[in-house]
Structure 1
């Protein structure tokens, strides 16, 4: 099943090269001062001033002039920072490492499909893999760079037909995530004439599709078209339609969703025999789901409501395996027979345990179950009756996922850790052997001398919060190491171990990297998520502060050398961190974040966020959001850290007005001389950003953080120091 994490952990939003508007002698133009205009809103008797509300209109001439002035100021400041050429060369080496990445693998009809990222190409492409042990055999099916040499077109998702002979591909431009689907013939790689279905994917409700059994058509998510709904509703009311190949798309037939919430989203899957279709309806982004099943007769049956807490499902042979969190916040696995699809026919196959269930992949006689362990994950094996068969051997403190059924009881899956890049393994059930395929990446750096310490921090209410500390072996805890702390804490998104070359760009300069597993994620199940959402969102910020304090108390660093970074919901975390504890951080990197919690729900995707954050219409939720909303807690005269805000003009998930208003308020209020910069681009939330623009943004980000933390950049030879001899 296609899984959707939204808002995603934002990739750094990226910017097209802009000409510096600094004077000929290198003078730095001052940041333009945003006018304060008397505007106030009243919520449940509470009057809230909003002097920068006028900045919410992206097409307003005054707003555009202010943004242009901020860009000129930002470019002049960042372009003068030391060692930019050396930093650019290093980041280019790290991110353009020519070892290809393969991901989103799926096998249909004996054909293995995958996305392939091959630097220095700007975008990933869709390929067919005749052999997982010989990547040179890969055949390109769809290359966005051939369709759009600018690099601004990206593949949102792809879905092969059951027989592997056709594949439907959604593509969007400029970071908008507004994707049209084109159907390709797998044998020839050519698009089928006239087979383009518009507006299947979007930045609010996402999107997806699944084929019927014989490959003559597919069920897909359909946004309102044309004048079907008023303009304000065209990013809402997602429904499921069916498209028959060879017919005009305006003749597509309705299937499901007329009675669904305005903020509905869907995941779709077809059974292996093609007789059943599963639709998982999401109520916005807060983790509530309802399940629907289409039977062989073409009728839909509702299997569950939001209150039933069935959160995901997948097909097995003649059964449906369903993940339930009803009276089981860490999850239990149910089995429902397709012959009598009803909850009262369900049996508990795997009861709730200590680990949190993430997903299941059925094979001929086995179940491969992925479980969350507070950040790291593992894969357990059971027979079809739930009997334990052991654990698939994977590295400690690592992530496992992307399981692909190969036939029989054999599977393909991926792993990654903080120090090892992604690898893809074939597990052969008959002999229990694990074999590494050729689909993994090699590392651009030698990481053998990097140590990962996993410690627990005590939050304000006593909750134990995991913190992962990455550092070079022998790093002294002398309270003086430049340190970069990051977190997310929301939307059931777990920060599981993953390989990031940029972590090593920081560590090789003498730095320490710390990654926090905060409440709001799914690291310990639904209770962990619920205790970091809605009226309990403040727990996330308390958890993050506890992690920062531990880094200082254990003398990894000190506030003067501590930087923090986060994007999207993690950008909100950055805003709350810097306004609640400005004394704790030297610099803040806040990417595509939400900062005005009282007006976020007025944006399309903000509506989808209501189940996670709450609404100002609810008095209790309003008080909670107003209590931490970063924009409303900037205080005049406070000596704030330096901050680099980034935003995307085409961002469909977080409106760039959040960054504009926050920057205007902070520049007017701060009592320190530290810079508050806004870096705006013409892309989106980060998805689909070309490689070259990613590099340019990271050059700005790392030049900024190195300078602010007093790190004098030292050129490196491409390798971290080797481990000391024993």
Structure 2
């Protein structure tokens, strides 16, 4: 738990039968990028967990050097036993995965945010075995009833599934049981462990094809058994094995509220359950179509276009274009909700662009938008916007862009490179000074994704697109709304403050440049419902005003 969205968390242990806390609070278990993780021993007597050096340690060590400790329920946390991590990189991020019946816990260790992982098996008796190294290109690991299953990108940028016998965890002896296919096996959930679900006789692999998910079923020997029956355009968030062997699958789509489907253990058929959210709005008159823009270098960029059925392509509709493009994070189907319903009722179109830098098509798609290739992301987004204008969905005077965090960097790069492309831009918790970002408290974690000013080639690439350094006096910038949280530990609020100050002094368009700072919010994770609702109201009020939209609620 953390306060005010800071993600600087402490661990509380609660007895689920009584609702009361037991044991003392364990501090320093979570920090923004490194997060925090925990895995229970199967008998419930204790758990492995991650924590950071204590406040008494030197300042340069705090919030770095994440390590694994073991806590026995009932003991004083001061007696917790160190397990692993002191020799890990300074920017290591650890995720722990325990599964019923497994002979131990898997510790997945990320080398910062760039997509390199090492994996360790922590046995129940305390023994530790390193299974993979960062250079092995194994991005996920899961313990099954008869072996260790690994997603590898070695010679397979979209991923392949390997299997190791539990009595010999030598990676060189791993068998490829599911070869690379047209779909990507991406890291997700706890560094990809959630993408491998194992039952007593089957493997369920969550695959991604340009954004939407599909779930392929295999025998434990890798022989294909077909696919789960899912909605046509959907995301599978998690899969949980139940006591009777059936599977509970969390499914999300653009137009229907999230729900859980149950998969029969014997037939493999899916059926609806009562576990589903409800919504006050319906999207029965709405459709999602997928089209492709062509980027500067010829790459086809998928666009998921949400529109009311029968929309006339006469260039008059207000359009909101969303993008991210980084960290191997994919923009996947998510229920659009009431705010998007309001936008559509006002005649608007909402578009999600699957840009390079994400994981929608595997590791190659990611690396084409990372480090010195980052400009590809901005070119993809600009090409997407121009495509939507050329096809008659909107006009530049009726188009807005929105993005947050790495997507905020995207916003800053695009409106400094193409100030004429959008009428309005919303950018939240963004990074804008790319020459100083690695000096921020959390900046070191980002070097594996963005690069470092200490490397000449990477410095040149960073400077070439750094939004703050390319604000031009007198340029006619769009109306801009930026937002940040005072307790943001992922992206220093300094970026938004200095960028807004520079833009307010420089813009020659006469359009507003606004900054919203919330003293009780961080990067967005853990923000209260009221904070999120108020920010959404501010964003749509800004967009309606700048695009000349009359609210359908009036």
| TM-score in terms of structure 2 length | 0.96
Residues 432 and 226 of structure 1, relative CA distance in 2, 3 Å threshold:
closer
Match of 1:444 among 252, 263, 280: 280
Partner SS state of residue 200, structure 1? coil
Cα-to-partner distance string for 1:471-490 (whole Å, 9 max, x where unaligned): 11111100111000000000
Decide which of 710, 718, 721 is 2:548's aligned counterpart.
Answer: 710
Larger displacement relative to structure 2 (542-551 or 217-226): 217-226
Matches within 5 A, 1:479-494: 479-494=315-330
The residue aligned with 2:252 is 416
1:342-421 superposed matches below 5 A: 342-358=170-186, 359-407=195-243, 409-421=245-257
| Structure 1 unaligned residues grouped into runs of 5+ | 1-170, 717-726
2:540 is the counterpart of 1:689: no
Moved over 3 A (4+): none
Q: Secondary structure at the match of 2:28?
A: strand
Distance in 2, matches of 1:209 and 1:271, equals: 12
**1:434 aligned partner:** 270
Alignment of 1:252-291 (within 5 A): 252-273=80-101, 275-291=103-119
| Distance in 1 between residues matched to 2:267 and 2:44, nearest whole Å | 35
Counterpart for residue 531 of structure 1? 368
Q: Distance in 2 between matches of 1:236 and 1:253?
A: 19
Superposition CA RMSD, Å: 1.2
- Determine which structure has greater relative contact order: mean sequence separation of CA pairs < 8 Å that are 6+ residues apart, divided by chain length: 1
The residue aligned with 2:30 is: 201
Q: Structure 2, unaligned stretches of length 5 or more?
A: 187-194
> In structure 1, the residue corresponding to 2:480 is in which secondary structure?
strand
The answer to whether residue 20 in structure 2 is matched with residue 183 in structure 1 is no
Q: Bigger radius of gyration, 1 or 2? A: 1
In the alignment, structure 1 residue 220 sits paired with structure 2 residue 49: yes
| Equivalent residue number for residue 357 of structure 2 | 520
Please point out which of 389, 398, 402 is paired with 1:552: 389
The answer for the alignment partner of 2:151 in structure 1 is 323
> C-alpha distance in 2, partners of 1:333/1:432?
21
- The Cα of 1:190 is off from its aligned counterpart by 1.7
The CA distance in 1 between the partners of 2:98 and 2:359, in whole Å, is 27
Q: Offset at 1:383?
A: 1.1
Counterpart contact for 2:229–2:269, Cα < 8 Å: no
Q: Which moved further from structure 2: 177-186 or 305-314?
A: 177-186
Mapped to 1, the partners of 2:362 and 2:80 lie a distance apart of 39
For 1:307, which of 135, 138, 141 is the aligned residue? 135
Contact 2:252 2:333 in 1 (8 A): yes
Once residues 485 and 209 of structure 2 are traced to their aligned partners in structure 1, the CA distance between those partners, rounded to angstroms, is: 34
2:397 partner SS: helix
Aligned residue in 2 for 1:55 = none
Map 1:632-671 onto structure 2 (within 5 A): 632-671=469-508
Cα 1:415–1:271, aligned 2, differ >3 Å: closer, same or farther? closer
Alignment of 1:121-160 (within 5 A): none
Aligned length in residues = 544
Provide the rounded CA distance (Å) in 1 between the counterparts of 2:327 and 2:158. Answer: 15
* Contact 1:520–1:530 (Cα < 8 Å) also in 2: yes
* Conserved 8 A contact 2:102-2:143: no
In the superposition, the TM-score normalised over structure 1's length comes to 0.74
1:454 to 281, 286, 290: 290
Pair 1:350–1:409, CA change in 2 (3 A): farther
3-state SS in 2 of match to 1:583: coil
Kept in 1: contact 2:237–2:252 (CA 8 A): no
Q: Secondary structure at the match of 1:356?
A: coil
Cα deviations by residue, 1:560-602 (Å, 9 ceiling, x for unpaired): 0000000000000000111010101000000000000000001
Match of 2:190 in 1: none
Separation of aligned partners in 2, 1:294 and 1:432 = 33
How far is the alpha carbon of 1:233 from its aligned partner? 2.6
CA distance in 2, matches of 1:271, 1:512: 43
Q: Name the CA distance, whole Å, in 1 between partners of 2:60 and 2:6.
A: 17
